[in-house]
Amino acid sequence: MSQVTSRLLAKDLKKSYGKVNAINGIDLHIDQAGVFAILGQNGAGKTSFIRCALGLESVTSGSLETMGNKPGSLSAKQQTGVILQDSDLPDSLTIKEQIQLFASYYPNPLSVDDTIAMCELHSFADKGYKKLSGGQKRRAQFALAIVGDPQLIFLDEPTTGLDIDARRRLWSIIREFANKGKTIVLTTHYLEEADNLADRIMVMNAGKIVADSTPEDIHKLVKGSVVRCQTQLSIAQLQSLSGGGSVTVSGRFSEIHTEQVNNTLAQLLSLDPDLQDLTVSQPKLEDIFGQLSQTGGGA
């Protein structure tokens, strides 16, 4: 194998579409196996980054390398697999035939049968793509991303639209692949997904990486507790007893992020004796994400 020092290396990477600065100076260095999750709100620049890393878009300035090569070069492509955000497959070949075709693009692919077994495709490998359910389609796309046995795999929102069972099954296949020494860079809007699956989480906002850490360290960025309840109190009233923390309304529940939990609870109970379903917990990624994705700091 060639001497590759980085699997993914970006230096002051920028990408503009006309006046839109989709990527606004990204520095990133990934040189080991694992699952690397990129989180960010709509329009944060996640897909633009992946498209640049695949050579599907030219970069505006800075530099970018995948597996030590120029993105889009034959050598980079032969070591890379992908599911794009809007991936679709032709219906003219069966799933098995498509896997065979993709395997032929790579110098040392996995066996087609092993790939089918790993991605649990047996029951529909002889069907056309259009006949598959959403979860089956995503597993078939994942099979095409891995059949070449690439070192580096990009998955742009691989589990969007899947039910929780299908999502968890795909997580376990992704984890298995990471455990075999592969690097998986995935984007997601599911914070639970990043929390459960990723070895490292990068939060993007407005084309920049504003946090880059292990899930454990990302959690430590925000201190305090989250008080959750059903209450008649207004947001302004809740804000006044948060001790400077944030208040969010999530469906029927109000959530107060506070660093003075005893104080907040005492005031809350005295102001609203009828409050229901009170819980106190540590901040979850959901509680932290809103703050991180508004800031330019935290990395």
* Member of 9, 37, 39, 40 binding ligand ATP (CB under 6 A): 40
Q: Closest Cα to residue 15, out of 26, 23, 27, 3?
A: 23
Q: Closest Cα to residue 46, out of 189, 249, 159, 179?
A: 189
For ligand ATP, give the closer residue by CB, 187 or 231.
Answer: 187
Opening angle at CA 223, ends 222 and 227, nearest 5: 105
* Member of 22, 99, 210, 268 binding ligand ATP (CB under 6 A): 22
Beta-carbon contacts of residue 44 (< 8 Å; ≥ 6 apart) = 204, 205, 206, 207, 293
Counting contacts by CB under 6 A, is residue 188 touching ligand ATP?
A: no
Counting contacts by CB under 6 A, is residue 283 touching ligand ATP?
A: no
Which segment (37-45, 98-106, 121-129, 256-264) binds ligand ATP by CB under 6 A?
37-45
Which segment (46-54, 164-172, 214-222, 235-243) binds ligand ATP by CB under 6 A?
46-54
Counting contacts by CB under 6 A, is residue 17 touching ligand ATP?
A: yes
Q: Closest Cα to residue 185, out of 160, 161, 156, 212?
A: 156
In contact, 181 and 20? CB cutoff 8 Å: no
* Member of 43, 62, 68, 243 binding ligand ATP (CB under 6 A): 43
Counting contacts by CB under 6 A, is residue 47 touching ligand ATP?
A: yes
* Member of 8, 24, 39, 48 binding ligand ATP (CB under 6 A): 48
To Mg ion, the closest distance from the beta carbon of 46 in angstroms equals: 5
Rounded Cα distance, 219 and 87, in Å: 32
For ligand ATP, give the closer residue by CB, 15 or 228.
Answer: 15
Counting contacts by CB under 6 A, is residue 245 touching ligand ATP?
A: no
Q: How far is CA 87 from CA 30, 90, 137, 202, 211, in A?
A: 25, 10, 10, 23, 28
In contact, 1 and 164? CB cutoff 8 Å: no
Rounded Cα distance, 37 and 47, in Å: 13
* Member of 20, 101, 235, 266 binding ligand ATP (CB under 6 A): 20
Which two structure tokens, joined as six digits, stand for 241? 């007893």
To Mg ion, the closest distance from the beta carbon of 204 in angstroms equals: 10
Which parts of this chain interact with Mg ion (CB under 5 A)? 46-47, 85
Residues that bind ligand ATP (CB under 6 A): 17, 20, 22, 40, 42-48, 85
